[in-house]
A and B are shown apart, each in its own frame.
Chain A
Amino acid sequence: DAGVIQSPRHEVTEMGQEVTLRCKPISGHNSLFWYRQTMMRGLELLIYFNNNVPIDDSGMPEDRFSAKMPNASFSTLKIQPSEPRDSAVYFCASSPPPTGPNTEAFFGQGTRLTVV
């Protein structure tokens, strides 16, 4: 399996532009997480999907952030408009159904976003 695949790996954009981050979870995994990593705040959960349905989006910073999961193999995180304080590494992670001791989350390589 190729693991969790994120694109792009790096994104540099100007303030005010729309940014879309993409994630393909591991096949068969039914939970998907978006995390943001910064020096100041560490790893923060933005949103959690289960079976393509958003279950917990309490970590989404504000209305500028939105996430979708149209099917089991694809999710997007969109920032519109982007601001310099959104600069961070965004990780997508997926995990299998919790039917046993295999509920660990598998992380993608991350997208390093820089908003100038």
Chain B
Amino acid sequence: AQSVSQHNHHVILSEAASLELGCNYSYGGTVNLFWYVQYPGQHLQLLLKYFSGDPLVKGIKGFEAEFIKSKFSFNLRKPSVQWSDTAEYFCAVITGGSYIPTFGRGTSLIVHP
């Protein structure tokens, strides 16, 4: 079965710092990849997704992610974070033979103003 690893469980940054959150998955076939964000007390919302084509995907609020197939990775980046980016971030994967998103444990991001 596929799995998703998010290595950073907690990240604390100051405003304007750059962000990179790691995500690795274990599956050798075709994958669809997602990053979701969960603001405090709210539901998960999609930040960006990769299905095919350009491995550099741009999402909402200045976020982007790069799919590196050889590394089984889909890291999330943002050049300059804001206090309002404080949230939990989840990486998810849907593999070729399944319709079920498998989520990583999540990374809690705190941005200090």
Contacts and interface: CB of A to CB of B under 8 A. Distances in A.
A43 B90 contact: yes
Indicate the member of A93, A98, A105 with the most B CB atoms within 10 Å.
Answer: A105
Given A42-B106, A43-B90, A43-B106, A107 B45 contact: yes
Contact of A95 (B42, B99, B103): B99
Q: Is the interface of A mostly helix, strand, loop or mixed?
A: strand
Interface in A8-59: 31, 33, 35, 42-43, 45, 48, 50, 56
Q: Is the interface of B mostly helix, strand, loop or mixed?
A: strand
Contacts of A45: 100-102
B44 interface: yes
A61 interface: no
B99 A31 contact: yes
A42 B103 CA distance: 8
A99 to B, nearest CB: 12
Given A42-B106, A45-B102, A101 B45 contact: no
A104 B51 CA distance: 10
A42 B92 CA distance: 12
Interface in B1-59: 32, 34, 36, 42-46, 49, 51-52
Interface residues of A, number: 22
Contacts of A104: 34, 46, 49
Contact of B105 (A31, A42, A50): A42
Given A42-B106, A105-B92, 8 more contacts: A33-B100, A43-B106, A91-B44, A98-B99, A101-B51, A103-B32, A104-B34, A108-B43
What 7 pairs across the A-B complex have the smallest Cβ distances? A42-B105, A43-B103, A101-B51, A107-B44, A107-B43, A109-B43, A105-B101
18 contacts: A33-B101, A42-B105, A42-B106, A45-B101, A48-B100, A50-B99, A56-B100, A91-B44, A103-B32, A103-B99, A104-B34, A104-B49, A105-B101, A107-B36, A107-B43, A107-B45, A109-B42, A110-B43
